[in-house]
Amino acid sequence: MASDRWRLKSVTLKGFRGVKGEKTFNFDGKPALLHGKNGQGKSTIAQGLHWALFGEFHGGVLPKQSVEKFLKAVGATGDWSAAAAFSRDDETLEIHRAGKGQQSSLTVSLGGKTWSDDEAAAKLESLFGLDMESFSRAVLLHQRRVRGLLSDEAGDRKRAMDRLLGMQDLEALQGIVKEKPFLTAAEEWGEAMAAEKDRLGDRQKDRQTALDEARSRAREAGFRDADFKPAGLKAAYAALSKDLLETAKKYEVAIEAAPEVASVEDVRGYGNSFQGRLKDIRGGSALHKNLSPIDAKIAALKGFESPWAERLKARDAATAALEEHRKSWGDEEAFAAEVKKRNDALERARAEFKAANSLLSLLTDAADHIDREKATDCPVCERPLEPAGSEAVRERAAKFTGEAEKELKGAMEKAEAAAAEAAEAGKRAEFLAKEAADAQARLDEFRGKIADALEDPGLAERRIADALASRLEVLAKERETFAEGQKALEQDLERLTLKERSLATELAPVISARAALDEAEKAVLGLKDKHKESLDKQKDMTRIAVDAKQVADAILTAKERLASSSLDAAGPRAQELYERLVDHGLFDELRVETKKKGGSQGVDYLFMVQKKGDSKSAREARVVLSDGQMTAAALALNFALAETAGHGLDLLFVDDPTQNMDVDRRRAVARAVDEISKDRQVVLTTHDDDFASELESGAFKERAIVMKFDGWNGNPKVETGE
């Protein structure tokens, strides 16, 4: 059939996706059915055709990997390519795109002429009148575009309709052109200016309050309003400096003039130099020079009083302890005699105890001898034993070991205790004597220091206290002669100090507060000039917001008109196809309309069904239609829009149109495709055997090419029939 539009003649793929080698799929401008299981290369033909024409895919189609990894067949060598041939009357248009790495090259040939790359792309667009988006919408009807209209999410359905009608660019532009950001910016500029004005106003009030409080304190200190100026501050400090020089002259001290106070910033430095000059007057006056040596002597002599009393007390205590000990034990000669007496008594006690022990041993030996030798005479005294035997000797020994032994032992222990007591007393006497000697030595040493201070080396110990008191009394009288003059000096210096402090803490803060207030007032007055640029920016933002709203409204109006125009043009055909594909007993009319949101919020779409002529029965299609019916209704709208789209291709490539459909719906779609294929080249892909059988059993098969995909071994296994 002669046509002024181009029909697909063939698609040749090499090393592309599911085609490892090279394979040509011939269509010869006829309708075609591509039938087979999933994963056997049917969709690869549509992808190859798309890539040959445009060299790219929509965002989200190409995975996040290199173009080569996505398009080049696994195991293929060399470059990969996709070619397509179209025919129109006697003309043949050949398109070839070769891929290498991330790039591709395009050549287009027609009537003996060849174009490359950008020129080739421009030639295709002029011949077909299609860009990639229009091709995907009006020629290549993919199932995912139909599924978008079935989504439960309103936003997804709206985006699907935008893509179907080609409104997505206008939608994106409308999303960019918004008045709110500019209005917000204008408000922020205004708020920033108002906030700064409030802040500066508050600062001005605070500084006025600070000035009023400073003036009040200064007036209470005796200052007048005439002093509350920089000139008044300068004059007040000049008067203080003059008073300072006169006071120095009064006390015969030469000092440098204090620095001038020209501004409040000089006050701190003046205070430091002022204190230094007061110190010079105090230290350089004749009164100070006379009093200093006297005060030093008084301090030194007073420093002797307490230590002398402490050392004297310590010496007397040590001496008293030694004397107390001697009262108990006598002097050294008596103590020595007592010690000798006690030691002699100890020696005698020890000798007696020893002799008694020897006698006991002798008696015991004698008794044993008598018993052993049957002696009748005592071996000790050589007298006859009366009565005979050892009993008398043993009685005598036993008597000794009783009371006599105990008495002798007690006498010896008593003598030992007496000797030990005497020895301990001797050690105590030595310690006390040393303590008394050391205390006396310390006292004598300190007495020498006092005597030197009093310039009386031979000063006796008993006269120390009186001598100190006498000399201090003399020095106190000498000091009294200068005390009145020193008191007057300190009073003059205190007067100057108070005056300087009053200037620094009462008058200077007034000047500082006045300067701070002037600065704040100047800042407030300068806001008008400072905010001029901000006001201009605020006006610009407001004007741009108005312009943006006008542009957004214009975009919205254009989108609504274009969408409505496309839907109105496709409406009758969509209704015709809806009746045939859905065949609903109640909701037999399809209404797809645009609905403008309030303001500039956008355009919504109403996908409604109703009973013919009864608008009150209208319902949202997805609510009352089954999934299969909804798919059929969406397919009806897709077919109608594709048929009414104006472009240079007489081709409709439909991918898997019968998902979710029952037998009746599939049969209806087959009849519709058969009808459409009478006037247009329709290429369908499907894995639905029943749907394929419906098409092959009718007139469609007589005018169409049928490709049966029956396996894959690196390349699709295809059986072609007409």
Dig out the tokens for 27 from the structure. Answer: 């269509």
Comparing CA positions, the residue from 138, 23, 6, 9 lying closest to residue 80 is: 23
Torsion sign, CA atoms 584, 586, 592, 598: negative
Give the pTM.
Answer: 0.54
CB neighbours (10 Å) of residue 65? 8
Per-residue confidence (pLDDT) for residue 622, from 0 to 100: 87
Q: Is 656 left (phi over 0), alpha (psi -120 to 50) or beta?
A: left
Comparing CA positions, the residue from 541, 555, 550, 546 lying closest to residue 175 is: 555
Helix (H) or strand (E) holding 103: strand 103-110
Which DSSP state fits 343? H
Give 53-56's long-range contacts (Cβ < 8 A, gap of 24+): 53/84, 53/95, 53/124, 53/128, 53/132, 53/135, 54/132, 54/135, 55/97, 55/104, 55/106, 55/121, 56/132
Comparing CA positions, the residue from 294, 304, 640, 253 lying closest to residue 474 is: 294
Comparing CA positions, the residue from 613, 640, 610 lying closest to residue 623 is: 610
Identity at 128, one-letter amino acid code: F
Comparing CA positions, the residue from 4, 28, 44 lying closest to residue 86 is: 28
Q: Is 172 exposed, middle or buried (0-12, 13-18, 19+ CB in 10 A)?
A: exposed
Per-residue confidence (pLDDT) for residue 29, from 0 to 100: 92
Q: Output the 3-class SS for 156-181.
A: HHHHHHHHHHCCHHHHHHHHHCCCHH
Angle at the Cα of 359 from the Cα atoms of 357 and 363, rounded to 5 degrees: 120
Helix (H) or strand (E) holding 718: strand 716-721
Identity at 391, one-letter amino acid code: E
Dig out the tokens for 135 from the structure. Answer: 């091709």
Report phi then psi at 18, rounded to 5: -90, 10
Identity at 100, one-letter amino acid code: K
Give the separation between CA 274 and CA 30, rounded to whole angstroms: 113
Per-residue confidence (pLDDT) for residue 1, from 0 to 100: 46
Comparing CA positions, the residue from 115, 131, 122, 118 lying closest to residue 168 is: 131
Mean pLDDT by 10 residues, the chain (722 residues): 80 91 92 90 90 81 65 82 94 93 90 94 90 84 74 78 74 71 81 88 93 93 90 92 92 90 92 92 83 86 90 91 84 80 83 78 78 73 67 71 74 84 85 90 90 87 88 86 83 93 93 91 84 80 79 78 85 89 89 74 82 90 88 87 85 89 90 90 92 87 90 86 69
